[in-house]
Structure 1
Amino acid sequence: MPAITLENEHLRAVFLPGLGGRLWSLVELSTGRELLHRNPVIQPANLALRDAWFAGGVEWNLGTTGHWALTCDPLHAAWVDAPYPVLRLYEYERMRGLVVQIDAALPPGSRALVVSVAVRNPRPESVPVYWWSTIAVPQTPGTRVLAPATLADHFGYAHRLTTVPYPGDPDVSRPGTWRAAADYFFHVTSETPWIAAVDAEGHGLLHTSTPRLRGRKLFGWGTSPGGDHWQRWLSGPRSPYLEIQAGLARTQLQHLALPGHTTWTWTETYRPLALPEPDAPYDRARAAVDVLVQASGQPETGPWTELPVTDVIHRGSGWGALERRAGGLPASAATPFPDDTLGAEQAPWLTLLEDGRLPGEAECVVGARWLALLRAAADPHGRYHLGLNLWSTGDRAAALDAWGKALAERRDPLVLRAVAEAHRIDGDDATAAALLLEAHALAPAVRPLTVETLAALLAAGRPADALTLIDRLPPGDRAHGRIRLLEARAALAAGERDRTGRILRDGLVVPDLREGEDALDELWFAYHGEERDLPADYDFRMS
């Protein structure tokens, strides 16, 4: 796996450019201590926006609520023309149409890894922006999380935001004592925002930033059987972790408006922390960190942001080059997106640019320039993408009109699926199920479409039809955990209890289980009743 290392006299930092540029390891050289949760496995799970996420290290989250869409995608990586090694990771984020640039450096003599971030909006219109640097650190029974705040917004899996004292009584600054998983979003009072996690001996990680990155958050899985199961699912046995995070807004339920043709920058530092009195009362321990933060001074904005790159060492996607070719992204020596990064994914869109038609299936691209080009494209697949672009602007009626014209020419499974989703959002489960059945008949080998069709049939009260479809699936699809879960639910709803019981007894593993999803425990209790204990292998409850 590609890895890029920065090192000075005090620290060694390792980045994974092929996996979202994740900062995977940060080691204090004098002690050999790993400051991050360096996961012993890379176990993909369905906790991000694209069923692609893994625990560990520092993840950069840009886009919309949740772990960012590029968390398992390659980024461009290059060295910067600077007096000492500066690593630049960058990419075009096509959900929001932004350029993200992450510069990391270990200047000579520095006891902190310095990370400067720039988020550029090249469009004329304002864009809603969400950013959180998500820092996974080891969790021990004595781990303590400190922040310059006396209040926090608590968010549990009852989905309510409540302002509470921090650390409060009982003391929630020690996540190893929690029963349930939770988020705490701090009301930060310091001019230099910071957050720290230390073990029982006072050793740990201190994160600081310039004021733009104002938000701070603590997330822990709790000690319930469900939280413990999630930890083992993601990191294997005996490898618990928690997350300390830094964001642009106070909570992760918010976005901030980034004006058109504007760049936001900030700088973060990651450094070892040694508290002389780790068991001191919370106020005194927090004050001790405050003193260290003030002594270190506020992080300075990295001087490298506008400097050009000299040596590209890892390739990301070709979407930035496509946007530049379309005239939506100015050329930049700081974040070059050359033509040689264009590939098969961008080829249909280049044809649209050059010939005014969109040949064959293409991945989704949205934006005003593409919308204008798609309005003139008369082919059915162009109309499908025209509908997606119109939907992204909020024009539901025009999107459905474009899809209707596409279906009048050809019954296409992707277009049928789009119309079905519109009906599902409107609460019309019967129409959604009928459309998805037609789409599935046209594309029976597309497993995600199979899953959506089965879920729609259950929502429409047609469990027997769901079982009929499952019985016709090839063995590979039938054996998939998500489809077996849907089969068990359909069988129970259709009165075929023995079929549900066999699936539960044989063992049901759902590889794409969502964070907070209660499907397994709901199925178990629906079959057995509330009096039967939930087996540990089925317990992913977060509350």
Structure 2
Amino acid sequence: MKTTVRRDVLTLPVAPTGPENPLPPLRPPGDPHTPDERAKNGLPRDMARQVGYEPLRSLLPVRLLDGYGRKRTDTPLGTLVIENGRLRATVLPGYGGRVHSLLHKPTGRELLYRNPVLQPAGFALNGAWFSGGIEWNIGATGHTTLSCAPVHAARVTAPDGGEMLRLWEWERLRDLPFQVDLWLPEDSDFLHVGVRIRNPHEKPAPVYWWSNMAVPEERRVLAPADEAWRFAHPGGLRRVPVPVSDGADRTYPPRSEYSADYFFDVPDGARRWIAALDEDGHGLVQTSTDLPRGRKLFVWGTGSGGRRWQEWLTEPGTGGYAEIQSGLARTQLEHVRLDAGTEFSWLESYGPLSARADLVHGDWADACAETRARLADALPGEAVDAAYVAWLARADTEPGEVLAVGSGWGALEVLRAEYKLPGTPFDESTLGTEQAPWLELLRSGAFPEPCEVAPPGPTLVSRNWRDMLETAPARPLTEYHLGVAQWHEGDRAQAVRSWERGLERALSRWPLLRCLAVADAVEGHLERAADRYAEAFDDLCQERRDDGAAWTAATAALGREAISGLLAADRPEAARAVWDRLHETTRAEGRFRLVEAQIRYAEGDIAAVRAVFDEGFEAADLREGAEPLGDLWAAATGGEEIPARYDFRLRP
């Protein structure tokens, strides 16, 4: 059959992601993938330079997505399917363009780990993420903020004259447009994926990219390397031999007890590839042109915490998975410089591979040689290079039929700077209510005050938007947004002055008070931060107009943050007062049952803490590497063994 691109519908048990958290994320992200200073010693010079290059100061202008729960209902999801006679790829345009499934039709084999549910968990940089398939990670170290966000999609003419699926969006952490073209030549066993990241600005930009493939964990993972950089919680990075290190063959995911990343040190000049093959020698292989030098294996580990995370991300009875990845840098701790007015582009290829099982599961050198040979038979390196050249010639082709629509932020940036981005149109028709006040600022020079009382919308923080805010009339909402942009830039004293000026005339005081409370807490002024948190929450409760999604999300977010600030100042009575004013449905959420237990502990009511645990709860937005459940359990019980349902530890 000829290659086709079509719409379809997939029904899965889905836990909704919920509304965005309206509080701007002013604190730097807590990143479990940051190496400690000792680990940086002895790194190769280029790696050391890129590990320290432009780390995130904050998640701004992106907002947190942390209001999801654990209740799943069958939900129809719009999909895009690209298919020929041999492969069928199913894409979720509403979830970052994730490839949910890659089916090899002649054998009926699913080449990926296909999660039977869509359960958000706290792994993306901004919160909600889910496991399975192939995801496109762009932005900064971690899972992309687009994990649960829509992207633009359209039908495009492929290099061979058939159909190709184009995905594109504006990545907001680094302010860069990118595209992902899925091309499946007629009768091919390999899905080609052309990737392009452009820097339209007048200064260099840090770039991060890792293509992340989930595969069943009962595989051997192979890559052309005899050494790897191993990274594990909390912050350890060291070079280890491949395949055996610390007494076990780590290329088999079930042979690791604890969570770890293995970044294969692929030699210069070697063909770039990684494969995950089962006991019979069958499985998935990924290869690429030379630009993406990194290849990685991630394992959850067989310890109780790793098993709990695996269960947490799917449903009982589902097999475990590992991740194999391909990235621009040698490790995910690095960011790569992209000069002004230039681009990165490359081609990846995904498909089935079959090799002799006795060799695949034997000596490492023989296993790699066999895999390399079978890959050369199935898809020679020259064919990948030729496909890249053919695709790149079509990368600027304007899309045809629009199949899905992403955000309006790219359209706003194109309007502001008049960027020319052939192949990835950011049309004005995609502008929405969130972009409207910024469009008004762009056109009139003034940021509009709201027509009705509501939580503030998102803030733009790049230098160009900050300059416009600084010259706009100094109204309270303008001062609020200006302060957020100044804070992101690192000008904290000026940010505080802007928020204080806004507070003098603001009718809606709680957004400014909350920002000032964060500033106080960061500077160690815990008592003043607590006062401002309490005042901010009181003002919000008086101002909120209804129990709709926006106000409920604001009350939950500010209430949770205020309780944390009040407990940090050793004021459990005030924290209890905030708790009592939360919505009843909010207090019943698992993440707030944990907050309740924390308040009880601060009050000294250890029996009540134990009762919360015994009743059972699920704190839906637990973060990777965070251990609040284990810490609170240990403190409340004197060190009793934590129950399995609360054990999310990823280290010994």
Q: Same fold (TM over 0.5)?
A: yes
Taking the aligned partners of 1:156 and 1:464, their CA distance within structure 2 comes to 39
**Residue aligning to 2:28:** none
Alignment of 1:66-77 (within 5 A): 66-77=142-153
CA contact (8 A) 1:451 1:482 kept: no
Taking the aligned partners of 1:294 and 1:424, their CA distance within structure 2 comes to 58
1:526 and 2:526 equivalent? no
Taking the aligned partners of 1:167 and 1:421, their CA distance within structure 2 comes to 47
Alignment of 1:334-349 (within 5 A): 334-349=423-438
Taking the aligned partners of 1:294 and 1:274, their CA distance within structure 2 comes to 12
**Residue aligning to 2:110:** 34
**Residue aligning to 1:414:** 511
**Residue aligning to 2:570:** 461
CA contact (8 A) 1:39 1:239 kept: no
1:404 and 2:500 equivalent? yes
**Residue aligning to 1:195:** 274
SS of residue in 1 equivalent to 2:90: strand
1:315 and 2:405 equivalent? yes
Taking the aligned partners of 1:317 and 1:488, their CA distance within structure 2 comes to 38
- Pairwise CA distance, 1:294: 4.3
CA contact (8 A) 1:44 1:53 kept: yes
1:330 and 2:411 equivalent? no
Greater relative contact order (Cα 8 A, min sep 6): structure 1 or 2? 2
Counterpart AA for 1:289: T
Q: TM-score, structure 1 length as denominator?
A: 0.96
- Pairwise CA distance, 1:511: 0.9
1:367 and 2:462 equivalent? yes
Root mean square deviation, CA, Å: 1.6
**Residue aligning to 2:557:** 448
Residues paired across the two proteins, number: 539
Counterpart AA for 1:358: F
Deviations 1:263-311 (A, max 9, x none): 1111111111112133221221012222234451152222321221111
**Residue aligning to 1:246:** 326
**Residue aligning to 2:486:** 390
| Structure 1: 5+ residue stretches without partners | none
1:207 and 2:305 equivalent? no
**Residue aligning to 1:92:** 170
**Residue aligning to 1:156:** 232
| Structure 2: 5+ residue stretches without partners | 1-76, 451-455, 542-551
SS of residue in 1 equivalent to 2:121: coil
Q: Of 455, 462, 471, which aligns to 1:376?
A: 471
Taking the aligned partners of 2:138 and 2:117, their CA distance within structure 1 comes to 24
SS of residue in 1 equivalent to 2:283: strand
Seen in structure 2, the aligned counterparts of structure 1 residues 500 and 119 have a Cα distance that, compared at 3 Å, is same
**Residue aligning to 1:224:** 303
Seen in structure 2, the aligned counterparts of structure 1 residues 496 and 192 have a Cα distance that, compared at 3 Å, is same
Q: Of 207, 229, 243, which aligns to 1:129?
A: 207
**Residue aligning to 2:33:** none
Q: Of 271, 281, 297, which aligns to 2:381?
A: 297
Taking the aligned partners of 2:484 and 2:271, their CA distance within structure 1 comes to 42
SS of residue in 2 equivalent to 1:261: coil
CA contact (8 A) 1:489 1:523 kept: yes
Taking the aligned partners of 1:10 and 1:376, their CA distance within structure 2 comes to 59
**Residue aligning to 1:274:** 354
Taking the aligned partners of 2:615 and 2:469, their CA distance within structure 1 comes to 50
**Residue aligning to 1:510:** 619
Counterpart AA for 2:220: R
**Residue aligning to 1:538:** 646
Seen in structure 2, the aligned counterparts of structure 1 residues 436 and 290 have a Cα distance that, compared at 3 Å, is same
Taking the aligned partners of 2:339 and 2:212, their CA distance within structure 1 comes to 25
- Pairwise CA distance, 1:324: 1.5
Counterpart AA for 2:185: P
- Pairwise CA distance, 1:28: 0.8
The more displaced of 380-389 and 463-472 is 463-472
1:182 and 2:260 equivalent? yes
1:485 and 2:574 equivalent? no
CA contact (8 A) 1:94 1:365 kept: no
Aligned-pair identity in percent equals 44
CA contact (8 A) 1:466 1:487 kept: no
Counterpart AA for 2:526: D
